[in-house]
Every structure is written in C-alpha cells, then in structure tokens.
Structure 1
Amino acid sequence: MNSIENKELKAQLIADFQLSQATLNGKSNMPIHQLRGEAMKNFDKLGFPTIRHEEWKYSNVSNLIKQTFDFHTKTDFKKSDLKKIHVPHLKGNILYFINGVYNAEISEIATPEDKLKVISFSEALATQPELIEEHFGKYANYQNDAFTALNTALSNDGVVVQVADNKVVEEPIIIRYISDVRLANVGSQPRNLIIAGKNSQVKIAESYRTVGENASFVNTVTEIIVGESAIVDYYKVQDESDKTYHIGTTQVHQKGRSYFYAATATLNGGFVRNNLNVVLDGEHIESHLFGLYVPNGKQHIDNHTLVDHQKPNCESNELYKGILMDKSTGVFNGKIFVREDAQKTNAYQNCRNVITSDEATMNTKPQLEIWADDVKCSHGTTTGQLNDEAIFYMQSRGIPKKEAIRLQLLAFAQDVVSQIKINSIREYIEKLILEKLEAA
C-alpha cells in the first residue's frame, strides 16, 4: 500500500500482504514465503486480541486498531537529525533503522567480520536464504500469537547478527529503531535474528525512539539463539512518544551451559507490551531477567515473561520493578514452567512496585507451573507506596520532602539500572529517570 486508506487496520494489513505476494514474481513457492502465507492465515483467524483473552485481560488494544498507519512511509531522515536523539558517548556497532528500514549511511560497524557478521534482514533474505529458512519462524510463536503472526507475515527488514564460535565481541551491538512520524502515522514491523555461536560472548542493545508528533505502531520480533557455553547480554530501552503503540516479542533459545542476561527499561511510550520468552533447552544454563518501567501521565506498560525450564540443573532469576505516577497503568505477568525432566531446577521471580499516585494502577499475575519434584522455586509480588518513616527521617536530617522522595525512588530503580553493563546506555537511562522524577 502506497497510501493510507481509512479502513479497519486488520483489513489494511491483509490487503498489504496480498499486494506484496502479488509482486513476488514466482518466488511465492519458496519455503519462507509459504511460511509467511501460513502466518497471515493465522493472523486472519486469530484477529487482534481483546480483553476477553486472558493474556490481554489488562491491556486493551482497541485504540490501536481504530487508527490507520502507513507501513511504507518515505522518510528524509538524515544524519543531522540524530542530534534530536543523541546519546552521549555511544560507541560500538551502531545500526539505525528508520521506520523499520535499515539506513547504512548513518550506521557504523566497528568489529571485524571474522568475529561478527551484521547484515540487514532484507539483505540476508537475498544473500543467505538458507540461514533465514533454518531459523525464521522456528522459535517465536506465530501459530497462536496474533502480533507475532503479523510480524512473521509482513516483516520486511531488521537485523541479522552472527557471532562466530569462540569469539568475544568487545564492542556492543546497538540497534536503534527510530519512528519518523513527522509527516504521518507510521507503522513498522522489524524482525531480528541473533545467533551467538559456541563459546562466544556479545552484548546487544535495542533502543526505540520517536521523532515527530503523529502516532506510531511498532510491532517487533527478536529471536536470539544462545549457543553452547555462549554468553549474551541483551538490553531493551524504550523512550518513545505518548502516541506510540509498541508490541515487542523477544524469543530466546538457550543451549547447554549458556548464560543469558536481559534488562528491559521502559521509560516512555503510550501503550507498551513487552513479551520476553526464554527456553532453557540444555543443562547447566543460567538466565537472568531484569525489568524497570517508569510510566507517568496515562502511559500503559505491560511486561509478560515466560521462563521455560526444559532440562535439569539450570537456574533462572527474575526481578521486575515499577514506579507508577499520575494516571498510569502497569501490568506484570510472569510465568515459570518447570518440565518433568527439569530436575534440580532453581527458579526465582520477584515483581516489586511503588505507586506515587492514588490514580495509578498496577496489575500483577505471577504464575508457577511445576511438573518436576526436585526443584527450588519461588515467586512473589508487592505493590505499595513509599516508606513514610524513611521520608520523615530524611526530612529530619535537613533533606526537603520532594528531594527525599526522589532519592528513595532513584534507589529503588538502581537494583535494575545498575545491571546494565554498557556505560553510555546506563547513564542515559539514569538521566531520563531523574528528569521524570524531577518533573513529577
């Protein structure tokens, strides 16, 4: 579709798919396009979820589907426009995607190819179709998840990262997604595939920003394969506008003796849904999941996590923390599955929230399903207000009440922020949190 039509979003997306299929010129019989067709059929059957769906009970997408978005908007975003979204001291392999499309002119690759291969998803489709066919649609659930099915059918760009066996990539890979909505409502559906080879080490960060005043719809899927004995640090940072609808799924598949570490920081966004699913498919695996969300105004932030222990002798640890202000809404749904073969599992989950306004709302639902008998598992969640006694004590020592509250909230967030090992990103997040708290 080259122009926006005022019709229901589902119909627009199906028509868009049919148009793209009509231009394949005989390639429609390739396995990847057959899979895309199957995914679109699933999306057509599933439709957009409603609050009657248990997984979407607290997150209503009705406002999203009432709008129209152009998924093919041309943009004249230039290197000079990066000043609007500048992050100080940002270094490494930095890739820019504008409205979901790779921009090589403003991207920078620092690591030699013998350690790291980074290409756009569209380039990989053209030059390495066998790699895409091996992994595309094999991990993220496009059969039962409407948004993943939609992305699988219509994703047209993103990044493919391959870390060679036995290599340590010192420079982080930073993938910056920018929604340029200066001219119209824009939709994008990035698809990322990250493959960390055996005994490799890498740090990866995805960041999402908005430029302009119109609405954006970002529907992204990232699939991460953590090879045997590999170490992967993964960060997701969201600083989008109040007119952004962000649906993101990160699907992680870990092999034996691997280590995966994730930190998700959601600082701004009108409607945000993050799905983080980790499958521990081997022995002696470690998984650590951290999350921080700081909504204000009428922002809605929903974090769904799933940690699936499939093999014995593995450990997972999960900590999500929220600071909710004004009329904002938070959702946390954390699932832990321990399969029958996953004996000697240690799995822990904790969600803690501070509400600073009587009009803010937090909905939590921890879930633990265990089919093994020799395990150590626990989960817990708390939602409350600040410690009045601590604030009074700080005031008695000469600290103004507003400053005492701010210091308490900063300390509360630090458990997650301190886990981010890319200094420039951690400092940027700390700055944004401070600005939000000072404005409250």
Structure 2
Amino acid sequence: MTAGPAESAFLEHFAALEAGLPGHGLPWLEDLRREASASFRELGIPTTRLEDWRFTPLTTLAKTPFQPAQGAREISPAAIESHTRVIGSAPRVVFVNGAYVPALSSVGELPPGVCISSLASALAREPERIEPHLSRCADHKTRAFTALNTALASDGLFLELAPGAVLAEPLHVLFVQTGEDPPIAAHLRNLVVAGPGSRALLVEHYIGSAQGVYLTNAVTEIIAGRDSRLEHIKLQQESENAYHIAGLSARQEAGSQITSHSLSLGGRLMRFDIQIMLGGEHAHCTLNGLYLARSTQHVDHHTTIDHAMPHTTSRELYKGILDGSAKGVFHGRIHVRPDAQKTNAHQSNRNLLLSESAAINSKPQLEIYADDVRCTHGAAIGRLDEDALFYLRTRGIDLEAARSLLTFAFASDVTGLLPIEPLRESMESFVRDWLSGGQGTR
C-alpha cells in the first residue's frame, strides 16, 4: 500500500534512528528491523475496515504528530515512590521515555541462573542470547504495531531463567512516560526466556504524567520452557490523554504454565492483544483481566489461545466496568487444532455498564477442529442487579453506597486473584476511588 502521512512519519523515524538503535551492526538484527519496517509500510496503521479493528478507530492517533522518544528525562525516586512501594523491595527495573535508568533501578543480588538486564545492554554484551528468541513469538509480518515496534524498539526488559532457576521475589518493571511537547512515541520490547522447570513472577507496569499526550507501543514475548511456571501481571495506569498499544505473545512447551493478570485502568485509547500458543502436551494458561473506562475512554482487548497439542487447558476471565460515554471491545478467540484432542478450555467475558451512553462490543469465539474436547465460552453485558440493590437498601445502605458495593464486588473477582498482597490492596483501593468519581489512588 502507499504510505499515508502517519505511516511516512514513523518510517522517517526509522530512517533517522536506525544507525543508533540498540544492536546496530548485528546483521541478523538489522535484517529483522528492515523487514519489520517494510511490513509496516505495507500494512499501514489499521483502520476500521479490518475486522480486528472494526470497533477501534485510530483516526486521532494517526493525526497526532508523534516524535520519537529521545531518551530518559530526569525524574526523582520520589516521583515514582507511590508505584514502587506496592511491590516492596523486590528487584526493580525502570525505563523513562523508553530508556533504561540505572539510578532508579535496583536489582541487587540475584539467585543462580537468573539474568535481569535491559534489552539494549544484553544486545551489546551477549547478542547470541537474544538472537534465537527475539521476534519468534510476536508476529511482525501481519500486525502493524508489532512491525513498528520491531523496527523501532529502543529498549525494554530481558529476563532469562536457566533450567530450574527460581526468582522467588516479584520483578517489577516500571515504564514511565513524562509527556513531552510535541508528543512522543516510545517503542518498548520485552523478552522473557524461561528455561525448563524455572519459576518467576513479573509485574509489567505502565504509568505517565497526568496530562501528557504520548504513545506507548509495547511488545512482550515469553518463551516458556518445559514445566516452567510464569506469572505475569500487566498494570496499565497511563495518563487520560495517552495512547497505549500493547501485545503479549507467548509460546509454551509441554507442562508449562502461564498465568496472566491484565488491569487496564488508564489511557485515552488502549489496545491489548494477547496471543498464547500451547505448543506442548499438558501446557496450561490462565488469562484474567479487568478494564475500567469512563468519560470518552476506549478500551480494546483481543485474546487468542491456540491449542496446538493434546491435553492442553486454558481458563479465561475478563471483566469490564464502563461509565460515561466510554466504549469497550472484547474479542476472545479459542483455536483448537485437529491434533489437539482432550483440550479443555473455558472463556468468560462479563461487562457492567453504569450509564446509558457506555457501550461494549463482546465477541467470544471458538474455532474447534478436534472432536474430543471440552470447550465453553460466554459473554454478558448488563447493569446492576435491581434485586441485589433492593436487598442492600432494605439493610439501611443508601443507593449510591449499594451501587458501589455491588460494582466493587464485580471487580474483585479479578483483583482478588492478584498474587501480591500489597498490590492487590492497592488495586482494590484504586477501584474504590474510581467508583467514587476519583482518578484512582495511583
């Protein structure tokens, strides 16, 4: 296709920045970036003519004159303290405007077999550890923003776990956008390689300045080795004017388990694509998600779980609460290949609309090509239960408090699953504040 103004601007970013991007001079990476740039030129920014983007117009994003993030702006530890304290003294890696900031990071002494690094540093020191895995899960040939990310990624997390390695504490990866004028775009790439039998808990956390207009384009790839256990929390608390486009792509080997918790709590427009490939027998994944939106916010979640082998299992629960004129999209797809007999999969999407103007498009989808499986899905869109409201009011609870109690209980089905107690309490406090009309306790 012919590149339009928005595509041309991003392609000009690549032409200007290519020589200074991490790993420049590595033939395999230069080839990958150029291939991805060509893919983006061909694909262009998605439009509503595409089925996967039918309900998410990107017109305003495409018209915003983003400039490439040019490295970290100085911020103090106090500026992020309210976000870091909910994880405690666990290892922390901080990126500001797409650049790693050692002064704000604290990794400490790591267990044997655990490597935590910025991706740029790993490419400079030991690129042979990156090459076999980078872009093996994330599809830069058919997904425009993944292609753009692959071409322009400035930095991100590299986490490698040797066979049997255990990272007992959570790893907190904090991405901060300061909101510049003109607006900036940061392209962040995270790579997690979990060896056979390894264990880890990762918190991927996005925040930004209160009024900043910016684009976060993030891609996370996870390779889960045989019998590994990985818990992944994605916490998105960006500014009310931010654009957040993100993807999580994972490939699981036999017996591995991935549990994903997604909390989408900010942003003007947010899109999160999850693609999980269960590529070994007895692999299991769990996807839990909560999204809150009000005013004119737009939140879009697309999930795909690919059952490629027999005896694989998956569980998915996504819940949304929408108020004001907010719009939501959920498209969940379970794909069962012909050889994936004995698959057991369940998907559920539940949405609560708190106003007449809020709307959600929910599309659960099963694609089953095997005959010996157990697969179910369901979706619900509704308002608060009038009988439950009446019951609470008969107990002396006023109407607004009753509404808040029921809505909080709806959200707690997801927040209650968070495995880190201080974070769980912080998110519960955020939801309560949000329901009372505040911005959430951030």
**TM > 0.5 between the two?**
yes
Shift of 1:116: 1.5
Aligned-partner Cα distance in 1 for 2:396–2:24: 72
Does the C-alpha gap of structure 1 residues 27 and 406 become closer, same or farther in structure 2, counting only changes over 3 Å?
A: closer
Q: Per-residue displacement from partner, 1:317-340 (whole Å, max 9, x unpaired)?
A: 101001111110110000000001
- Work out which of the residue numbers 38, 44, 54 in structure 1 matches 2:51: 54
- Work out which of the residue numbers 5, 8, 19 in structure 2 matches 1:8: 5
Does the C-alpha gap of structure 1 residues 106 and 156 become closer, same or farther in structure 2, counting only changes over 3 Å?
A: same
TM-score, normalisation: structure 1: 0.95
One-letter amino acid of the structure 1 residue matched with residue 230 of structure 2: V
**Where does 1:89-168 land on structure 2 (aligned, <5 Å)?**
90-112=88-110, 114-168=112-166
Q: Conserved in 1, the CA contact under 8 Å of 2:149 and 2:187?
A: yes
Does the C-alpha gap of structure 1 residues 221 and 357 become closer, same or farther in structure 2, counting only changes over 3 Å?
A: same
Q: Conserved in 2, the CA contact under 8 Å of 1:263 and 1:420?
A: yes
Provide the residue aligned with 1:65 in structure 2: 62
Q: Conserved in 2, the CA contact under 8 Å of 1:354 and 1:383?
A: yes
Q: Per-residue displacement from partner, 1:144-182 (whole Å, max 9, x unpaired)?
A: 000000000110100100112112211101111111115
Q: Conserved in 2, the CA contact under 8 Å of 1:267 and 1:432?
A: no
Q: Per-residue displacement from partner, 1:64-123 (whole Å, max 9, x unpaired)?
A: 010112223451223232246564453311111101111111101145252421110111
Provide the residue aligned with 1:42 in structure 2: 39
Provide the residue aligned with 2:177 in structure 1: 179
Provide the residue aligned with 2:415 in structure 1: 417
- Work out which of the residue numbers 193, 197, 200 in structure 2 matches 1:199: 197
Provide the residue aligned with 2:360 in structure 1: 362
- Work out which of the residue numbers 347, 350, 369 in structure 2 matches 1:349: 347
Provide the residue aligned with 2:325 in structure 1: 327
Aligned-partner Cα distance in 2 for 1:51–1:372: 32
Q: Displaced runs of 4+ in structure 1, greater than 6 A?
A: none
Unaligned runs of 5+ residues in structure 2 are none
Q: Conserved in 2, the CA contact under 8 Å of 1:115 and 1:169?
A: no
The number of residue pairs the alignment matches comes to: 434
Shift of 1:184: 4.0
More divergent stretch after superposition (347-356 vs 78-87): 78-87
Q: Conserved in 2, the CA contact under 8 Å of 1:168 and 1:201?
A: yes
More divergent stretch after superposition (348-357 vs 27-36): 27-36
Q: Conserved in 2, the CA contact under 8 Å of 1:182 and 1:211?
A: no
**Where does 1:328-407 land on structure 2 (aligned, <5 Å)?**
328-407=326-405
Aligned-partner Cα distance in 1 for 2:372–2:22: 56
Q: Secondary structure at the match of 2:273?
A: strand
Aligned-partner Cα distance in 2 for 1:226–1:220: 19
Aligned-partner Cα distance in 2 for 1:228–1:12: 42
Provide the residue aligned with 1:256 in structure 2: 254
Aligned-partner Cα distance in 1 for 2:148–2:291: 26
Does the C-alpha gap of structure 1 residues 89 and 203 become closer, same or farther in structure 2, counting only changes over 3 Å?
A: closer
Q: Conserved in 1, the CA contact under 8 Å of 2:290 and 2:411?
A: yes
TM-score, normalisation: structure 2: 0.95
Q: Secondary structure at the match of 2:389?
A: helix
Q: Secondary structure at the match of 1:44?
A: helix
Unaligned runs of 5+ residues in structure 1 are 1-6
Aligned-partner Cα distance in 2 for 1:417–1:25: 37
More divergent stretch after superposition (37-46 vs 84-93): 84-93
Shift of 1:20: 2.6
Does the C-alpha gap of structure 1 residues 60 and 227 become closer, same or farther in structure 2, counting only changes over 3 Å?
A: same
Does the C-alpha gap of structure 1 residues 25 and 265 become closer, same or farther in structure 2, counting only changes over 3 Å?
A: closer
Q: Per-residue displacement from partner, 1:292-330 (whole Å, max 9, x unpaired)?
A: 011111111101000000000111010100111111011
Does the C-alpha gap of structure 1 residues 306 and 25 become closer, same or farther in structure 2, counting only changes over 3 Å?
A: closer
Aligned-partner Cα distance in 1 for 2:66–2:14: 14
Shift of 1:55: 0.4
Does the C-alpha gap of structure 1 residues 69 and 352 become closer, same or farther in structure 2, counting only changes over 3 Å?
A: same
Q: Conserved in 2, the CA contact under 8 Å of 1:307 and 1:337?
A: yes
Provide the residue aligned with 1:33 in structure 2: 30
One-letter amino acid of the structure 1 residue matched with residue 430 of structure 2: L
Shift of 1:35: 1.0
Corresponding position: 1:18 with 2:18: no
Aligned-partner Cα distance in 2 for 1:372–1:210: 45
One-letter amino acid of the structure 2 residue matched with residue 49 of structure 1: P
One-letter amino acid of the structure 1 residue matched with residue 27 of structure 2: M
Aligned-partner Cα distance in 2 for 1:374–1:89: 43
Query: What is the root-mean-square deviation of aligned Cα atoms in Å?
Result: 1.8
Q: Conserved in 1, the CA contact under 8 Å of 2:22 and 2:154?
A: no
Provide the residue aligned with 2:424 in structure 1: 426
Q: Conserved in 1, the CA contact under 8 Å of 2:23 and 2:29?
A: no
Does the C-alpha gap of structure 1 residues 57 and 111 become closer, same or farther in structure 2, counting only changes over 3 Å?
A: farther
Aligned-partner Cα distance in 2 for 1:241–1:135: 32
One-letter amino acid of the structure 2 residue matched with residue 33 of structure 1: E
Between the aligned residues of both structures, percent identity stands at: 35
Provide the residue aligned with 2:311 in structure 1: 313
Provide the residue aligned with 1:3 in structure 2: none
Shift of 1:353: 0.6
Q: Per-residue displacement from partner, 1:321-366 (whole Å, max 9, x unpaired)?
A: 0111111011000000000110000011010011010000100111
Q: Per-residue displacement from partner, 1:208-231 (whole Å, max 9, x unpaired)?
A: 111252301000000011110011
Aligned-partner Cα distance in 1 for 2:385–2:128: 57
- Work out which of the residue numbers 286, 292, 295 in structure 1 matches 2:284: 286
